[in-house]
Amino acid sequence: MSSNLPSRRFAILGLLALGGCGFAPVYGNGTGLRGLIAFETDETVAGYRFGAQLEERLGLATAPRYLLRVTQTRAQRSAAIAEDGDTTRYNVTGTARWTLTDSASSEEVAQGQVDAFTSYSATGSTVATQTATVDADARLSVILADMVVDRLLILEPQLTP
């Protein structure tokens, strides 16, 4: 037990030193973009889920400095086919194209595109497959939204005063 004590002390001292030098985690709730970005997404279930994840990560904008517009596309294709020809696994791919504009000047500040995929198994009952389909779509929305937020966090030094 005493051998762990020095390593714990060094870990605590290291954390205190990081806090003292102004270190702040990029993904913390105190991010400089929190509450500054309003967003518009597709009026679909996927768009709603995407927006919910953006709100979770960026907060609800009360006095938005920027507007983020996002459009998504989705595609599904067979990933595994059994000997009898039945599809047992599907890949769902998604693309989110985004544009960030300054709310005051309507000037485009940044734009980009992110791509991701997820998959689900179709080997169970019809209900299980439908549930897996909905779950995969929800996962893809979260993945794409997180990727867009990651791009925005990279731009944060240019976006915040």
Asked whether the predicted pLDDT for residue 27 surpasses 80, the reply is no
More confident residue, 28 or 52: 52
Q: Is 159 helix (H, G, I), strand (E, B) or coil?
A: helix
46: Cβ contacts below 8 Å, ≥ 6 apart: 72, 74, 94, 137, 140, 141
Architecture of domain 32-159: 2-Layer Sandwich (3.30)
Average pLDDT (83-89) is 89
> What does the pLDDT read at residue 128?
92
Asked whether the predicted pLDDT for residue 55 surpasses 70, the reply is yes
Asked whether the predicted pLDDT for residue 160 surpasses 90, the reply is no
Average pLDDT (59-87) is 92
pTM: 0.79
Least-confidence region, from 59-63, 69-73, 109-113, 118-122: 59-63
Cα–Cα separations (whole angstroms), residue 35 to 54, 124, 137, 144: 11, 43, 27, 20
* pLDDT range class, residue 102, cuts 50, 70, 90: very high
Domain ranges of the chain: 32-159
Percent of the chain whose pLDDT exceeds 90: 63
* pLDDT range class, residue 30, cuts 50, 70, 90: very low
Q: What is the DSSP string of 115-155?
A: EEEEEEE--S-HHHHHHHHHHHHHHHHHHHHHHHHHHHHHH
Task: Count Cβ atoms within 10 A of the Cβ of residue 129 and give its class: 0-12 exposed, 13-18 middle, 19 or more buried.
Answer: middle
Average pLDDT (71-92) is 92
DSSP 3: T
Asked whether the predicted pLDDT for residue 14 surpasses 80, the reply is no
> What does the pLDDT read at residue 117?
97
